[in-house]
Amino acid sequence: MSLGRVLVEEFQPEVLQWLRERVDLVVVNPWVEPQRWDLEASRVDAVISRKGQITREHMEKAGGRLRIIARTGVGVDPSRVDLEAAKELKVWVTNQPGSNAVSVAELVFGQMIALVRHTHAADRAVKDNRWSDYLKFIGTELAGKTLGIVGMGNIGARMAIRARAFEMEFLVYDPYIPESHVTALGGKYVGLNELLSDSDFVTIHCPLNRETRGMVGAKELALMKPSAFLINMARGGIVDEEALVSVLQQHKIAGAALDVIASEPPANDHPLFKLDNVLWTPHLGAVTLEASERGEWGAAEEVIRVLEKKRPKNPVVDADEARLLLPA
């Protein structure tokens, strides 16, 4: 007997098969079939989402049928789920804290190395038979540099551990953790302005909410060293994109590595795409086999718990109490 109808994205076959044994499954890629996603989102008892957005309109059209929105990753900001609407309409929202922490941290360090060692430009030079151009790609070492970590959650903590392994110093800005969490790992607990002005690399690992939206704007970017790099693997809305374009165009900072943008997928004519000092990835932070497996299985299990009238393990919106457990 089916527990209900569930909308999912294109997940690993084992996860989909496990769900099919318990529910009626609707599989839709929201970026390939956005209209179908919008249609089905209001016709199901549960949604498991990696990239797909669930809006107030989806929830209201569901007419009380939708019981849970289970995110496969950590992010539950408004670019993915309308948390206030979920609270008002008593829809469970869950996430998978820590599921992508290793994957994101490893990608950040990969991009940092690519930035300072010019690996992408060097690759093109070799393929263009310009081996002798090697002196144009003189880079710098990470060792001895200072890494500024904005947000010391699961990902930020792993960034700190890896920074020590790379012989880097690190600074942390996070007003929601005690200083001892930073000093215990050998770092320094500082304010945002000090972090921006003293870091050679600034990496962002905080959620997008009312407090952090636009947190890094023109004023903040102006504090960074001309030789510094900005890495954003969190959410695009945290950084003012217009201000970032300006400082990159004027080479007021050395460059950026971006995995996210305020509106995804981005417009083809976005001004950041025209800059040669920006290294892009298409929101790949959690796109590893290991992170996907942790997130997809975790979200699938949350849906089954709720459809069996049990409490989920990782609620962000508590449907029983109509309460938001994280800042919106």
> Which is catalytic among the residues 40, 235, 241, 302?
235
CA distance 6 to 52: 14
Task: Name residue 135's amino acid.
Answer: L
Q: Catalytic site residue 235?
A: yes
In the chain, alpha helices (H): 13-20, 34-41, 56-62, 83-89, 101-117, 119-127, 154-165, 179-183, 192-198, 218-221, 241-249, 289-307
Distances (CA, A) of 54 to 4, 6, 46, 64, 232: 18, 14, 11, 14, 24
ω before 312 within 30° of 0 (cis)? no
Burial 48-86 (b: 16+ CB within 10 A, else e): bbbbbbbbeebbeebeeebbbbbbbbbbbbbbbbbbebb
Three-state secondary structure readout of 149-189: EECCCHHHHHHHHHHHHCCCEEEEECCCCCHHHHHCCCCEE
Residue 87: CA count within 13 A, CB half-sphere: 13
What three-state secondary structure class fits 308?
coil
> Which is catalytic among the residues 283, 294, 296, 302?
283
Residues with a catalytic annotation lie at 235, 264, 283
